[in-house]
């Protein structure tokens, strides 16, 4: 066969295989047997082996995997992948709908309504297409950036390597010559999950399909990912070529382009239609071949979505309605008390193992002593447990009538289970604490585990067991000690050979390049999550500036209240923290923000701006970005340091306070004028 003949045959085979894939995985209407499909695919693979220069990234043969990925590079998302606000209450859902409609009172939503979709219990991913071809696939990560797992995502049949081309369709033509983003949920069906677990030893089995999906997507061998049969449902399409098309129309576009968009999406014009949809799927969810944990309600009009904008964490135009958790009965055999990384003492119930929502539950949280007293739960009781959001098991009630005569009350410990220090209970708090922060083994281990975690310093090969071993061998005591480790320290230890020792040393060394905001988060300051750490890194561009910030300065930072401000201030004077920070600085970690010089006019340089009231033409986050890109700082409250207030409609107490303090006040139109003139 000549090369020209092979090329023609390869193109024909690819077209035929892609069409059969679409019919099987998206339409669920296969027209040939699996055996006949395999014959076509094998013929394509053999031809491409004979003519390797004819292989292209979008060939169906590239789905079978084969790439070994040692690392998953971090990539920035085009726009933040935000998490949704959750509710289990129909009243809270009704309040959400009322807020949306009040926020759009001048626009009205009757013409477009809402879109109801199932909430698949999987892992969110982002796909980037250029000129019709998949070029990047990434995990959600922390929302701003995720891991590049393109090779693994290519193995999923419901993710087109090249979008379908529809004749005489202007949109198809535009998207085949443009860049656009698709977001979706990757999950594993119940059958595929059971099959995967049946092939594994009992102590290596996954707890649930979501857990299995997360583990699969981070496999280094994409052949193993292909073997585990993942699925993706697409729920979001964004690009410059889409105009003002509605969300429901975009879902239709995704289906035309070859994506699986689910079978239960519904356009709802009334509240009654939304609640009927929820009732139907809460009743029928067990009939589905995959796990769902609720439904998502989204405003259909994309322009209206932009008008409503988002909070720092969630969009204001969408909400996740979680179905009632599944419950079952079991017996509480014992209670143990665990010590967290900040000294919190948490009671954990040891239960008679029982199946619940597809997994075996043998432990559950009891939260704190107040919860134990509220439930009046005792050792030996028959209890009801549920999985909150079908994920976290907890005890919710006690069958007092089934209580055995020898049921024993649960006694609160007086000393720390880890170090023996007398416990304390701070005023107005429900938890007991171990005050021995510097020397308590459980807290030392907890801080190290947190420091090495994926969304902190992401130190591969440094799990809990290794950390415990290194502590026992007195090789490490705090995160700073990790950077003093040498390969020769590790090779004499159990679990370590030359290669595994070098892998850990390399991973620790690579962590020095983690960004300043990740370093702040990794320190484990109480109440400082990743989002707060990112805010702090913007407002205080060096650790020195953060350490020297007053409680007042910290409190005036958006999303940081007095409690967090005190926690930050107290952390930097603790002797163990001072010692750790010296070691980390000597090791060369990023203690400064990577500030990129702005190319836009610094209109708001040195201005401290507060927005109040509702803005008509842009969301609050977008307004904040406009100010910060032009040298200003946006805070959430008016103070003597505020230099400018932008007042939208229905501005309230912040406007009144600004007027009393004599602060400059402008309206939204003037604000846009400043941006435009800049």
| Residue 393, beta-bridge partner list | 387
Alpha helices in 104-229 (DSSP H): 150-153, 170-175, 190-198, 209-217, 222-227
E-strand stretches of 145-278: 145-147, 179-187, 231-239, 266-268
Letter string b/e over residues 230-251, b meaning 16 or more CB atoms within 10 A of that residue's CB: bbbbbbbbebeebeebbbbbbb
C-beta separation of 644 from 616 below 8 A: no
Using DSSP bridges, classify how beta strands 432-433 and 344-356 pair: parallel, antiparallel or unpaired: antiparallel
| Residue 645, beta-bridge partner list | 610, 665
Q: Which of 119, 154, 445, 624 is an active site residue?
A: 119
Tokens of 422: 């007398």
Report CA-CA distances (Å) from 656 to 638, 643, 648, 650: 10, 15, 13, 12
| Residue 236, beta-bridge partner list | 183
Q: Report how far residue 545's alpha carbon sits from residue 593's, in angstroms, rounded to the nearest whole number.
A: 11
Q: Report how far residue 495's alpha carbon sits from residue 349's, in angstroms, rounded to the nearest whole number.
A: 32
**Residue 119 a catalytic site member:** yes
| Residue 360, beta-bridge partner list | 355
DSSP at 435 = -
C-beta separation of 408 from 380 below 8 A: yes
Letter string b/e over residues 167-197, b meaning 16 or more CB atoms within 10 A of that residue's CB: eeeebbeebbeeebbbbbbbbbbbebbeebb
Q: What are phi and psi of 360, to 5 degrees?
A: -90, 125
Closest of 358, 354, 361 to residue 193, by C-alpha? 358
Q: What are phi and psi of 31, to 5 degrees?
A: -115, -5
Tokens of 326: 């599944």
| Residue 179, beta-bridge partner list | 130
Dihedral sign (CA 114, 119, 124, 126) = negative
Inter-helix orientation angle 34-50/3-21, to 10°: 150
Using DSSP bridges, classify how beta strands 392-398 and 382-388 pair: parallel, antiparallel or unpaired: antiparallel
Distance between the two ends of the chain, CA-based, in angstroms?
64
Q: Hey, how many other C-beta atoms are within 10 angstroms of the C-beta on 110?
A: 9
Catalytic residues, by residue number, are: 119
């Amino acid at each position: 066969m000549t090369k020209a003949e092979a090329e023609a045959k390869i193109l024909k085979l690819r077209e035929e295989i892609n069409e059969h894939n679409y019919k099987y995985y998206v339409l669920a209407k296969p027209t040939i047997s699996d055996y006949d499909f395999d014959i076509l695919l094998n013929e394509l693979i053999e031809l491409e082996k004979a003519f390797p220069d004819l292989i292209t990234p979008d060939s169906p043969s590239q789905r079978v995997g084969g790439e070994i990925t040692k690392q998953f590079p971090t990539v920035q998302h085009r726009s933040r992948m935000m998490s949704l606000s959750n509710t289990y209450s129909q009243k809270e859902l009704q309040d959400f709908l009322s807020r949306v409609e009040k926020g759009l009172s001048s626009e009205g939503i009757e013409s477009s309504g809402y879109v109801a979709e199932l909430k698949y219990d999987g892992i969110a991913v982002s796909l980037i297409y250029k000129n019709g071809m998949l070029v990047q696939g990434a995990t959600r990560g922390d929302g701003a950036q995720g891991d590049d797992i393109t090779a693994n995502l290519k193995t999923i049949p419901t993710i087109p390597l090249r979008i379908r081309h529809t004749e005489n369709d202007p949109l198809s033509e535009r998207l085949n010559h443009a860049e656009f983003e698709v977001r979706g949920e990757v999950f594993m069906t119940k059958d595929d999950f059971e099959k995967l677990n049946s092939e594994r030893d009992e102590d290596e089995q996954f707890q649930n399909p979501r857990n299995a999906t997360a583990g699969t997507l981070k496999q280094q061998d994409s052949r193993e990912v292909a073997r585990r049969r993942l699925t993706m449902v697409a729920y979001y399409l964004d690009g410059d070529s889409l105009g003002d098309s509605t969300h429901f129309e975009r879902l239709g576009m995704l289906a035309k382009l070859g994506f699986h968009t689910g079978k239960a999406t519904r356009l709802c014009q009334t509240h009654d239609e939304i609640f009927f949809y929820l009732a139907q799927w809460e009743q029928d969810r067990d009939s589905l071949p995959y796990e769902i944990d609720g439904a998502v309600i989204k405003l259909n009009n994309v322009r209206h979505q932009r008008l409503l904008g988002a909070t720092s964490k969630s969009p204001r135009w969408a909400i996740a309605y979680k179905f009632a958790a599944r419950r079952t009965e079991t017996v509480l055999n014992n209670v143990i008390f665990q010590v967290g990384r900040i000294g919190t003492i948490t009671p954990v119930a040891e239960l008679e193992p029982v199946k619940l929502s597809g997994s075996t539950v043998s432990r559950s949280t009891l939260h704190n002593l107040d919860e134990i007293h509220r439930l009046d739960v005792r050792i030996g009781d028959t209890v009801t447990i549920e999985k909150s959001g079908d994920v976290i098991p907890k005890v919710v009630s006690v069958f007092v009538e089934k209580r055995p005569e020898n049921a024993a009350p649960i006694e609160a410990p007086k000393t720390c289970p880890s170090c023996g220090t007398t416990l304390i209970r701070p005023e107005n708090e429900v938890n007991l604490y171990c005050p021995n922060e510097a020397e308590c083994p459980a807290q030392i281990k907890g801080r190290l585990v947190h420091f090495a975690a994926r969304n902190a310093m992401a130190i591969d090969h440094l799990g809990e067991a290794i950390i415990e071993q290194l502590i026992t061998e007195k090789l490490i005591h705090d995160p700073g000690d990790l950077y003093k480790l040498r390969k020769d320290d590790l090779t004499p230890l159990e679990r370590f050979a030359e290669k595994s020792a070098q892998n850990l040393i390399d991973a620790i060394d690579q962590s020095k390049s983690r960004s300043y905001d990740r370093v702040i988060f990794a320190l484990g300051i109480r109440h400082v999550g990743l989002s707060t750490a990112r805010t702090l890194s913007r407002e205080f561009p060096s650790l020195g500036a953060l350490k020297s910030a007053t409680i007042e300065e910290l409190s005036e930072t958006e999303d940081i209240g007095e409690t967090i401000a005190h926690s930050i201030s107290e952390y930097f004077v603790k002797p163990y923290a001072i010692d750790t920070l010296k070691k980390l600085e000597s090791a060369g970690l990023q203690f400064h923000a990577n500030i990129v010089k702005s190319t836009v006019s610094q209109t708001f340089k040195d201005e401290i701006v507060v927005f109040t009231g509702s803005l008509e033409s842009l969301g609050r986050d977008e307004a904040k970005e406009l100010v910060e890109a032009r040298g200003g700082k946006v805070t959430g409250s008016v103070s003597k340091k505020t230099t400018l207030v932008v007042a939208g409609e229905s501005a309230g107490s912040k406007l009144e306070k600004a007027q009393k303090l004599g602060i400059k006040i402008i309206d939204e139109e003037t604000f846009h004028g400043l941006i435009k003139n800049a």
